[in-house]
Structure 1
Amino acid sequence: MRSYLTHLECTNCQQQFSAQEIHTLCSDCGKVLFARYDLTSVKEIWKKSDLLGRKNDIWRWFEIMPVLSLENVISLGEGATPLLHAHSLGEIHNAKQLYIKDEGLNPTGSFKARGLSAAVSKAKELGISSIAIPSAGNAAAALAAYGSRAKMEIHVFMPNDTPAMMMREAVVYDANLHLVDGLINQAGQELKASAKNWFDVSTLKEPYRAEGKKTMGLELAEQFNWSLPEAIIYPTGGGTGIVGMWKAFDELEQIGWIGSERPQMISVQSEGCAPIVRAFEKGDSHAELWEDAKTIAPGMRVPVAVADYLMLQIIRESNGTALTVSDAEIHSSIHRMASQEGVFAAPEGAATYAAYEKLLANGHLQPEMSVVLFNTGSGMKTPDLITLPTRT
């Protein structure tokens, strides 16, 4: 196996940069950089049958992954998560093609494992030894785990009201934990103000976390027998899931593995923190800071995102939509997904089912459509959301 990585490219001004040097955002315009590949050569040499017999993790897609040498890969077996046919929830709505992609079964219990495996692996290849991240919780836990495996110095900056389980994960992996008064954006400011020589792997402020996240889209295409569902409902915070999957679909089409059809990309946010929904409804191309963000879903408590323009572009290009759900609806959906399908969803993942019900009710989606709900993490990360029955 070999990677066909060629260069980095700005998603805004198209300026190109070397993939053999350390980069964060575009030095010309400050926007997100994407890893680019020689897809013409990939199309000529890579066949679907080449995937057979490979280790079942995100690195089976090595030809379109950003690490050049296998010896630099830092893996805990991330990826290859199941696509579950949600029969019971589907029956409620007479929907025979409702699915759940359960990312809670990743190492460290969330989809963040994919992105941090890719980012830490590439950091190792580039000679980076100290990494820092601002996080609402799950990304910090994932970076701590992969950083420990890579023998790196790790610093995680988290809001001081982050769920305790996620703080404990960072500590047990021997990361340096920095608690911050405020939200993830304040955590990012604290990291920057520290003025240390740590490489910052904030969401989409470096090019490689998105490469790990795009494997969700690669897997989904394979699980749908090289087609795609009609709609994907995704809980939105920083946006790497939506952005990464859309990139995956484009690359798969360029190498001839799928056609030009695309799913509607649907963003769901909490009523208490919905900058993308507000911008979508206003017709804006950027999302303004959401003041006083509050929600029981820590991964969606992201008041501002560097990739806002990419998310909004993708939602509109796919004829998707963006909508909010309440914390009460999220809480109810946690129980319904668990009791009906055996999936103990994170609150972010539960938000997708609450959104699905709303989209059926308002006619945006129809029961006969193939729809995938992304459960981005395990509900075991937020046990305090579950109330035990009173003993009598």
Structure 2
Amino acid sequence: MQLFECQNCGQTLFFENSSCERCGHRLGYIAARQTLAALRPDGDGWRPLDEPEVLYRFCRNAGHEVCNWLVPGADETVFCEACRHNLTIPDLSVPENMLRWRRLEDAKHRLFYSLLQFGLPLATRAESPEGLAFDMLADPLDPSAPKVLTGHDSGLITINIAEADDAERESRREGMSELYRTLLGHFRHEVGHYYWDRLVRDGGQDVLGRFRALFGDEREDYAEALKRNYDQGPPADWRERCISAYAASHPWEDWAETWAHYLHMVDTLGTAGAFGLRLHPGGAQAESLAARVDFDAYQAESIDVLVAAWTPLTLAVNSLNRSMGLPDLYPFVLSPAVVAKLGFVHDMVGTGRNMDRRKVNGNKADPG
């Protein structure tokens, strides 16, 4: 994530800011320019201070204070590049759901920041029957009714909004013996399934062959594989082959977990680079632990470039966390097999970069 500053007063800004804390200017994110712009009002619209000739308006969801993205004034759509993929939002008549939705949208907008940086295809449901869409749902009030399961099905990602409650999410993390569980991690994992369809399944036999050589044969019965995982646990050697225990359950989950970790790496390295981070440790291992994050992680030429910076960076931040008595920020190990899988993801992202969006006739849905 890049650093932003107020174009009026120079105050450092966060990606989610809707106004400058110093000068009070209204702020809006312009995805096409990757800019958090300071704005001045003009009738029903807004003009950026650095682009006064262009009129914008806020995404409709800004009215709920869950989005700070702008839409060009000439566009017909009322939703931004992130919100137009919503199919179902939480029931806002339930008071606590507004906070949950806000947390979900914060994570989802960070996801879309990455997807747009990569230039990956982002068809909506109105453009393709398998376009990317989100249902954000609550468990039914009837305790005997089936629970909402977070998952992916042919482009539709379902998120149980209970995951936006920190205590509930931590309880689930402990119950499932997971090292890591975040809202952003959920979005990155589930969108990985969407891009498996787009980039691997639809990429031809050569791509499928490469995938199967690294991850295994995805034609293995998925339901049986998950049942075996939950009944018996992961295989003893999962750390040598996979980024997480859950990744060992099935090749699809291995891909989605690896995809999510690739996005973790790239966006975190992007943030480190924006801060000009350099690591120059002393001691006998100084050379192997040194790193300069002085490149655009979203345009890295190879996975080796990313890993060379990522390994010392995670060692440093994990050490900082331990100094505060906190768990490791990144409690994972990149084995050679995992690095090879990350390399495949890197290649697939390169294939998908700036791919034309597939458009078909269909009815437009109201993203809410």
**Same fold, TM-score > 0.5, yes or no:** no
TM bucket, shorter chain: under 0.3
TM-score normalised over the length of structure 2: 0.23
When Rg is computed on C-alpha atoms for both structures, the one with the higher figure is: 2
TM-score normalised over the length of structure 1: 0.22
